Amino acid sequence: MSLRHTPLHELHLELGARMVEFAGYAMPVQYPPGIIREHLHTRSRASLFDVSHMGQVRVCGPGAASALERLVPGDIVALAPGRQRYTFLTGEAGGVLDDLMVANTGPELLLVVNASRKQADLAHLRAALEPALRVEVIEERALLALQGPEAAAVMRRVCAGAAALPFMSNVAASLDGVACFISRSGYTGEDGFEISVPAADAVRVAGRLLGEPGVAPAGLGARDSLRLEAGLCLYGHELDASTSPIEAGLAWTIPRVRRAGGERAGGFPGAPRILRELRDGPVRRLVGLRPEGRAPIREGEDLYDAQGEAAGRVTSGGFGPTLDSPVALAYVAGALAGAGGSLHAVVRGKPRPCAIVSLPFVAHRYFKRA
């Protein structure tokens, strides 16, 4: 099967990227400096990621916010123009069908969904919302992510209209003469911006950003290690159709208005389970692990308690360059989930102790106005 290319494909090749298949696309996993250097550059300066494989979807029509709110546990009705929110499409069993961003642009809602879930999400949204609303895939656009502590300084030089945005806000603005839609958000735990740009202008905008002091390209490898250190969930690993947002430690995304006793309590798929887990706690919880030694513990490794009883399973694991040590995310029995405990994995026949720690591993540095 031939892979799809993003509008920046030729630029990636010119920059020496190693390309891999991801969600049906040829994507850069790393550039010549390597994943660790790209990761550390993002933590110290600013990196540009191509995330054009993600799905951009427009929901238009009267009552769009209230209609979409019937599919998610977030507060979409009160989402003001120029703001965006992280939420989930939930299933009837209370699991996560996908996690997504919802932005209120004023005339419409703009959704950014996971690459692997684009077609399923589109079918789900259309079945629930059409014909009363229009659900449109936004074609011929790229999506860039400028991430790192120097991202705001770069944006002040290239697009002053977006530089002052607070976290989780958005604006339509011109960048190097190109009409873009820009949000202050990202998936690294660092301050940063996501820039939706017409495909025909993507190389121009990317080149403008890469030409700025302190900006370097980064690939999927660094994006994954950055999000892991930040304790951020990845669909298909920490999130899936059997896992609830409460199990994943994402209760904070469900506001009081959607909880029991709230003005618009429930009303979304899977609400009975999710509201019950909010009240009583889930059977299992997502935790952070710091394994002993230098070797990472990988996804799929089983975890055991001191008595050798099964206690959980690793969902993501790798090396954390910022911490210079391995880190992992895992689901464990709720009674064992408190920070300060210890479990172990069995790797090559030997036990590997893993300390349970609070998330995130590396503190978030999102920008918020004082």
Q: CB neighbours of 180 closer than 8 A, spacing ≥ 6?
A: 159, 172, 173, 174, 195, 196, 197, 205
Place of tokens 């892991």: 228
Report the C-alpha gap between 266 and 340 in whole angstroms. Answer: 34
Q: Is pLDDT above 90 for 42?
A: yes
Report the C-alpha gap between 120 and 128 in whole angstroms. Answer: 12
Q: Is pLDDT above 60 for 168?
A: yes
Confidence of residue 368 (pLDDT cuts 50, 70, 90): confident
Average pLDDT of 173-184? 97
Q: Is pLDDT above 80 for 281?
A: yes
Average pLDDT of 17-39? 98
Confidence of residue 330 (pLDDT cuts 50, 70, 90): very high
Structural tokens at position 349: 């026949």
Average pLDDT of 311-320? 98
Q: What percent of the chain has pLDDT over 70?
A: 99
In terms of DSSP bridges, do strands 4-5 and 25-30 run parallel, antiparallel, or are they unpaired?
parallel
Average pLDDT of 91-109? 97
> What's the confidence (pLDDT) of residue 77?
98
Q: What is the rounded average pLDDT for all residues in the chain?
A: 97
> What's the confidence (pLDDT) of residue 39?
98
Average pLDDT of 189-212? 98
Q: Is pLDDT above 90 for 57?
A: yes
Report the C-alpha gap between 195 and 46 in whole angstroms. Answer: 14
- Name the nearest CA neighbour of 51 among 212, 179, 285, 224: 224
Average pLDDT of 286-313? 96
In terms of DSSP bridges, do strands 46-50 and 84-90 run parallel, antiparallel, or are they unpaired?
unpaired
pLDDT tens-digit readout, 63-95: 999 999 999 999 999 999 999 999 999 999 999
- Name the nearest CA neighbour of 188 among 167, 202, 169, 170: 167
Report the C-alpha gap between 19 and 16 in whole angstroms. Answer: 9
- 95, β-bridge pairs: none
Q: Is pLDDT above 60 for 187?
A: yes
Q: Is pLDDT above 60 for 3?
A: yes
> What's the confidence (pLDDT) of residue 183?
98
pLDDT tens-digit readout, 134-160: 999 999 999 999 999 999 999 999 999
Confidence of residue 348 (pLDDT cuts 50, 70, 90): confident
Cis amide bond preceding 131, omega within 30: yes
3-state secondary structure 207-263: HHHHCCCCEEECCHHHHHHHHHHCCCCCECCCECCCCCCCCCCCHHHCCHHHCCCCC
> What's the confidence (pLDDT) of residue 72?
98
> What's the confidence (pLDDT) of residue 130?
98
E-state strands within the chain: 4-5, 18-22, 25-30, 46-50, 55-60, 84-90, 96-104, 109-113, 134-137, 141-147, 170-175, 178-183, 192-198, 215-217, 284-291, 302-304, 310-320, 325-333, 342-347, 350-357
Tell me how far CA of residue 292 lies from CA of 2, 324, 331, in angstroms.
42, 12, 18
Q: Is pLDDT above 80 for 369?
A: no
> What's the confidence (pLDDT) of residue 24?
96
Q: Is pLDDT above 70 for 15?
A: yes
Q: Is pLDDT above 80 for 106?
A: yes
Instruction: Identify the structural domains of the chain with CATH numbers, from first to last.
Output: 4-53+139-229 (3.30.1360.120), 283-370 (2.40.30.110)
